[in-house]
Structure 1
């Protein structure tokens, strides 16, 4: 067993020094983060043009801006519930999210969940960078390949330096973008941005559709549920005695407010300006207010978005290292972190250069697929943490296949697979570019294209895991946890 991972590696020190921790435990002596930083951090997590693009989906399916905003807001709030509860695990466990999943899936069995989350992290950045390249090409005529290389490299550099520098980058990005997005929102409210050739009065009629409303809700929900594997990665430096309720509230309010704002802004841009590219729309509104302001808004928007690329790269790095460690034990060194970030960034760049097509259609399809993969995992993880083991884990046993969690935990694996299979008849995957369904499950067809697969997955995976976990010997696990605690106290007294 790697004792250095339980005790903790030396702290990274100054902000411009590469973070020393990765998949190892963060000792309480190094928990220097503050609760006050979590709300703004996750506010910026949704406060960018990617989220604006999600607001284009509803109008693209015939849903009015008002209904799109409502569906998006409800979806965002629903998804944020799961995201926020996962965030509370960070200070209590002092570990990245996916390491903790070894309790439900096993030391090696967690690879199943890791593949799903790694797909999400990499896929998010592929869509992120694709939106940046398309937008800057349309606004400034910049070469897409050059833009992709610069954006991915900037995100990689931030993620290599790690936790502290990323939190600072998020803070400054929020300060820079908040007044500009507020200005765009107010200007749009007063009718700015309507080109003479495209008057709002000539816009096609948009109304209400249950299919479009349910799709927008599901995309909003999946968007913030997708943050579930991230949140503990950025809350694990908080003190262990951090108030759970205050932390959940901070994450929920931050992520839900900005998500609702940006989806609503996107919906109105799509309805009033016929927008299909967020950066182009922001440029149009800004330039109508003050000549040249649109270019400033686009530039600041892209610069403020680079920490989001770093967010995905950083969590992908933690996921990749966890996966490698689950097969062959590794030392979580700075070199391993840097190598992982470079490998992930190279894969993202290759995908961006290889994938062509409508960005919004790609975004829509990807977000739906992402929801399908993450729902069974989040159900299993939260049921285990809050209802089965109730936050009581033997931290040292996460780092060995011979511990109480074993190499394979069939309860979690079975619950995940059963939940995912149960979702398939409810899948409704729609290609907005081709304006047709890519896949329509039997029950989705019966429901007229309304997708409730996410709800089925939550109920089935969570329920199956809870039933299977009734055979766990929690008293034996508690004895192991007490022994580890007493041993830690003895070592501390000896020092």
Structure 2
């Protein structure tokens, strides 16, 4: 087959509406390689939420730019490692990660994180819809309503077509977005105060150690939020896809995109604090640079949020709701769009900040249970009825982190209150506790991995039940 014919066939396959839901993908439908994980996660991290999270390090926490960049690199590496590890779960069984959660947590227990992922996806869909609408509004000079409609409909449309189209869009954006952001980066970096020093007044009770740790935690948490989706975008890959290559591509794409854009945000934070994309125009970027930035931010929020819409829909199905995948996509789009519309009419960040922090706390202990179950216990993914031991491990890990949690305006644990720098360690405590407890609860069980074909057959029966 000639190269043009291959490209035509690939384009046709990518733009064909996906009919699969949460059932295992058969070998005959598997294709693609680990390289697509690089472009997907790189593009998904080149967005305004990465920029704003980096900005917090200097504008809010008081770090100097070089200090912030080191903390961003460390936090991004933690989150990227989670996405890389979770990406390897897809090809082996051909199902998403939440389906495989039924192994350690049980069929009923797995419904709880599935519901949380659904609401998390709706919240992030809302966040990115508002951010994208602000950018499009500034770019086109329209009202908030038309701009919001353009962004939300675009995100839903990409998710409706499905897996192949999402990868195609992300591959394209992996070329387009760097070209746009390079221009902005050169200008912003030359105008920023890259020699800024630590500001103890901004850090307050956190001090330098607390500000550094909190920056690491913020960057890690942003990528950890994506990790619950990771296997959704590798489950169509052949079962023999090399795991080390898949991990490397997913890790590298996530880390590079996150460090670049968050580092740029930290640089901008040395001269101004930017709450929305619109603020960039008035405070940092003039003329043509503002236009290029709004275009880049508008596109990037759409390409990122389509993942929330797609994976949120799969989570809704795994939670036990009986409907088709495309119907679940519309549910996520409708709920997320409604939340975004309400938030866009008022104080955007105040509406969502605490809600997103609350949703993020559960991911670390859940991740620990999944990693221990697969890489230490060699779990097969076979679902257990009711609640599995992983459910208790997950809840106990979360409970152990409560004293360390620091959510101003909602809840500050006793340890975080007495020692503010330790408030950044809640996720680490939850991860280590859940992982250790799950190992202790299950280490006497002989769970040697079964052949891939047996796993796929079993999962087929379980997901169709």
Shorter-chain TM-score range: 0.7 to 0.9
Q: Helix, strand or coil: the match of 2:443?
A: helix
Which residue in the other structure is 2:169 paired with? 169
Q: Does 1:124 align with 2:124?
A: yes
Give, in angstroms, the shift of residue 293 of structure 1. 4.1
Cα distance change of structure 1 residues 300 and 141 upon mapping to structure 2, 3 Å threshold: same
Distance 1:483 1:168 in 2: 29
Q: Does 1:444 align with 2:416?
A: yes
Is 1:12–1:18's contact at 8 Å kept on the other side of the alignment? no
Cα distance change of structure 1 residues 280 and 482 upon mapping to structure 2, 3 Å threshold: closer
Is 2:189–2:268's contact at 8 Å kept on the other side of the alignment? no
Distance 2:254 2:51 in 1: 14
Distance 1:244 1:417 in 2: 29
Which residue in the other structure is 2:191 paired with? 191
Q: Helix, strand or coil: the match of 1:474?
A: coil
Is 1:139–1:280's contact at 8 Å kept on the other side of the alignment? no
Which residue in the other structure is 1:312 paired with? 308
1:415 pairs, out of 377, 393, 412, with 393
Stretches of structure 1 that go unaligned for 5 or more consecutive residues are 1-10, 194-199, 395-404, 431-436, 489-495
Which residue in the other structure is 2:431 paired with? 458
Is 2:152–2:337's contact at 8 Å kept on the other side of the alignment? yes
1:366-387 superposed Cα distances (whole Å, 9 cap, x missing partner): 5532331211111111111111
Which residue in the other structure is 2:339 paired with? 351
Give, in angstroms, the shift of residue 138 of structure 1. 5.6
Is 2:111–2:319's contact at 8 Å kept on the other side of the alignment? yes
Which residue in the other structure is 1:178 paired with? 178
Stretches of structure 2 that go unaligned for 5 or more consecutive residues are 1-9, 459-465
Is 2:183–2:289's contact at 8 Å kept on the other side of the alignment? no
1:238-290 superposed Cα distances (whole Å, 9 cap, x missing partner): 11111111111111111011101111101111212443334542686553xxx
Which residue in the other structure is 1:8 paired with? none
2:376 pairs, out of 372, 384, 387, with 387
Query: Quick one: higher RCO (CA 8 Å, sep 6+), 1 or 2?
Result: 2
Q: Helix, strand or coil: the match of 1:324?
A: coil
Cα distance change of structure 1 residues 273 and 167 upon mapping to structure 2, 3 Å threshold: same
Q: Helix, strand or coil: the match of 2:217?
A: helix
Matches within 5 A, 1:14-163: 14-58=13-57, 59-137=59-137, 141-163=141-163
Q: Does 1:239 align with 2:238?
A: yes
Matches within 5 A, 1:170-319: 170-191=170-191, 209-281=208-280, 287=286, 291-319=287-315
Is 2:132–2:301's contact at 8 Å kept on the other side of the alignment? no
TM-score with structure 1 setting the length: 0.81
Distance 2:138 2:295 in 1: 13
Kindly tell me the number of residue pairs found equivalent between the two proteins.
Answer: 440
Distance 1:136 1:424 in 2: 40
2:330 pairs, out of 307, 327, 342, with 342
Give, in angstroms, the shift of residue 233 of structure 1. 0.5
Cα distance change of structure 1 residues 358 and 256 upon mapping to structure 2, 3 Å threshold: farther
Is 2:135–2:298's contact at 8 Å kept on the other side of the alignment? no
Give, in angstroms, the shift of residue 146 of structure 1. 2.7
Which residue in the other structure is 2:6 paired with? none
Distance 2:13 2:452 in 1: 35
TM-score with structure 2 setting the length: 0.86
Is 1:55–1:72's contact at 8 Å kept on the other side of the alignment? yes
Is 1:139–1:279's contact at 8 Å kept on the other side of the alignment? no
Distance 2:358 2:213 in 1: 15
Is 2:52–2:274's contact at 8 Å kept on the other side of the alignment? no
Which residue in the other structure is 2:364 paired with? 375
Give, in angstroms, the shift of residue 121 of structure 1. 1.2
1:365 pairs, out of 326, 348, 354, with 354
Q: Helix, strand or coil: the match of 1:227?
A: helix
Q: Helix, strand or coil: the match of 1:344?
A: helix
Is 1:12–1:19's contact at 8 Å kept on the other side of the alignment? no
Q: Helix, strand or coil: the match of 1:472?
A: coil
Q: Helix, strand or coil: the match of 1:14?
A: helix
Is 2:192–2:271's contact at 8 Å kept on the other side of the alignment? no
